[in-house]
Structure 1
Amino acid sequence: MERSPEKSPKTITRRSFLQGLGGIFASHWALSSTVAGGAGILARAEHDTRTLKKEFWDLSYPTLPAALDGKRIVQLSDLHLEQLSLSSTFLQTEVNAQNPDLLVLTGDLISDRSDLDKVSAYLQPLKARFGKYMVMGNNDYSHFSRTLFNRYIELLQGIGWIPLINDAEQLKNLDLWVIGVDDPATAHDDVTQSYDKLAKRASSEAPFRLVLSHSTDSLDDIAKYGADLLLTGHTHGGQIRIPGMKPLITNTYLGDKGIYEGYHVIQGVPLYINRGIGESGIPLRFNVPPEIAIFTLYKGQAEPVHVTRS
């Protein structure tokens, strides 16, 4: 994988790796009792952290609007720019190569207020034919005053992104509503408000409802209103997954039940949990490579088709 021409990858020693994991590996003799074993784990973690996977999904709907047949939605999530090891140039190449019709980002773009200086470099070059939409995550709220948060929103809008904060936007030419539910992890979500514009539409309309939310903890309320596809993130797919041990991050009620990545249909809602691109707390992944997800919509009855590519 190409490494960043803009900054050097972090040098991670075996000692700092084990210390950074807070003793998870150090306490597991089968993984870290030898120098060779520890070095092997470190190499694997570095590989998993920097090897971006592309998850391709073909999703079929019997009632899909004709305007959406063959259209492609690309999802990014959890970039955590503060310690992201992938370069903006690399991400631009990977995303734009997918020719998105819609590009969506399901929260946690930043981890610290200093990340504001990196937002334009990563997000402005990304292209999508019909629009770029974002919802907030817990980290997008945690480090800002109200004034700085407003500057953050203005920055996103200024580089062509549309933040949806408990709001929705109709794309009439696609028979599509993009519905943004604000972050559930910090209790900013208001699903009723998010669907308010849809509630006022003519009852004869049957558009496709694409719902974005950082966390699956909004699912119960979303299911009451209905969604054709719900895209989320937040769990990083566990981020650190050691066989026989609990993943490092599963911090949702579905995650606690073992549902913290991938495609599922729950309460009648087709749901996707993105592993994200960056890391939280520990700047490493293990058995959980970063991803971008690419969904192509088709009119029909076929079961979902999934392919992973590097």
Structure 2
Amino acid sequence: MHKLFSGALRVDRLSIEIAGLPAALDGTTIVQLSDLHFDGLRLSDQMLEAAIVASNQVIPDLVVLTGDYVTDDPSPIKELARRLQQLQSRLGVYAVLGNHDIYPNGSKEKVSLALDQAGIQVLWNQIAYPFGQELPIVGLADLWSREFNPAIAMSQLDPSVPRIVLSHNPDSAVKLQNWRVDLQLSGHTHGGQIVIPGLGPVPTWYQTVRRSIPKQLRSWIPYMREEHHKVVKHWEWAQGFHYVGTNGLYVNRGLGTYPPGRLFCPPEVTVLTLVAQPNDPAIASSRLAASSRLQPKLVGRLSI
């Protein structure tokens, strides 16, 4: 989609404190890209190139991709995968699939194969150790997949070891409260696409308005029927950092744009710097206490 409708790309930089992060990993940088929707309509060549350049300029330790590489047809994935080979990082590129990558039938295999052939490791209820055993990366099946089952991977991990979880749909954070998740990286929402300053993403207050209308009347009001709003249940997590219980969740606004476009919701490249928490036994022993919630620090924004 043309920049006129999508807005300029923005690079958001955050520092995230991780309890128990080894000193050797303090300062580790991770770039997150999400929701490319490479289909000739929703992502321009210029936006894709700008995102790749922005990522490479960071010289990250790791790049993670959090799903929806295509939209309704998997055939463009070969060209997208070829272009994503330009991504540079010290420890490689890891990915999970989104809902658009697994439907229709056969898409999952085609998308996974193309990414794999491009040197991008796709995780599907699997664990990877690019940083070693002290900081595993978990990649989950999409929430809407029949194979979504976090226990397959999460139950293998030592609860004392910090971990990062890649999961396309932020609603999966509800189920993930059963385990320790130091940082969940998601996309899917496109940040709500249309944001009203002072009110937030339109879908967030849409839900509030909708719930205030009696069920008997909703069917008579356009866009208020149940079937018209099924992207996520938790629009309050549409973008940015949130705590879900004691777990950290970051939701990327994505690169692709659906019509009619974006408003005050620019496409995003996220640069995350992992920071070890201060060596305070009280903090380490109270991970399950609300008092241990340390807000991430937004260290910079750059529009391209």
Settle same-fold status: TM greater than 0.5.
Answer: yes
CA contact (8 A) 1:166 1:193 kept: yes
Which residue of 2 is the match for residue 163 of structure 1?
122
Partner of 1:101: 61
SS, match of residue 156 in structure 1: helix
Which residue in the other structure is 2:301 paired with? 308
* Paired position in structure 2 for 1:284: 261
2:148 to 171, 189, 208: 189
Q: TM-score, normalised by structure 2?
A: 0.77
Alignment of 1:201-280 (within 5 A): 203=158, 206-242=160-196, 246-247=202-203, 251-255=231-235, 258-280=236-258
Shift of 1:123: 1.1
Measured after TM superposition, the shift of residue 303 of structure 1 is: 4.5
- State whether residues 60 and 297 of structure 1, in contact with CA within 8 Å, keep that contact through their aligned partners in structure 2: yes
SS class of match (2:202): coil
- Residue identity matched to 2:90: R
Deviations 1:6-38 (A, max 9, x none): xxx75xxxxxxxxxxxxxxxxxxxxxxxxxxxx
- In the alignment, which residue of structure 1 is the partner of 2:212? none
The CA deviation at 1:206 is: 3.7
Q: Unaligned regions of 5+ residues in structure 1, if any?
A: 1-8, 11-45
- Looking at structure 2, the residues matched to 137 and 62 of structure 1 have their Cα atoms a distance apart, in angstroms, of 29
Aligned partner of 1:175 in structure 2 is 134
CA distance in 1, matches of 2:152, 2:261: 37
Shift in Å at residue 91 of structure 1?
2.5
d(CA) in 2 for partners of 1:92, 1:174: 29
- Please show how residues 73-84 of structure 1 align to structure 2 within 5 Å: 73-82=30-39, 83=41, 84=43
Higher relative contact order (CA closer than 8 Å, sequence separation 6+): 2
Contact 1:107–1:214 under 8 Å retained in 2: yes
Q: CA deviation at 1:127?
A: 1.3
Given candidates 42, 46, 51, the residue that maps to 1:91 is 51
Question: Is contact 1:72-1:296 (8 Å) kept?
Answer: yes
Amino acid aligned to 2:253: R
Q: Which amino acid aligns with 2:125?
A: N
Residue 173 (structure 1) shift? 3.4
Which residue number corresponds to residue 273 of structure 2? 296
Give the alignment partner of residue 135 of structure 1, picking from 93, 96, 121. 96
- Report if aligned partners of 1:67, 1:173 keep a CA contact under 8 Å in 2: no
Letter in 2 for 1:99: I
Shift of 1:151: 3.1
1:123 correspondence with 2:77: no
- % same residue: 33
Cα RMSD after superposing both structures: 2.4
The answer (yes or no) to whether the contact 1:210–1:230 under 8 Å persists in 2 is: yes
1:42-72 deviation line (CA, Å, top 9, x unaligned): xxxx446140001100112342112210100
Deviation at 1:131, TM superposition (A): 2.2
Alpha-carbon distance between aligned partners in 1 of 2:126 and 2:19, rounded to the nearest angstrom: 27
Q: In the aligned structure 1, how far is the partner of 2:12 from the partner of 2:63?
A: 15
Show the counterpart of 2:284.
none
Distance in structure 1 (CA, Å) of the matches to 2:267 and 2:53: 15
Alpha carbons of 1:283 and 1:161: their partners in 2 closer, same or farther (altered >3 Å)?
farther
1:5-20 superposed matches below 5 A: none
1:176 deviates by 1.4
SS of aligned partner of 1:309:
strand
Gaps of 5+ in 2: 207-228, 279-293
Task: Give runs of aligned pairs for residues 24-43 of structure 1, distance below 5 A.
Answer: none
CA distance in 1, matches of 2:5, 2:13: 19
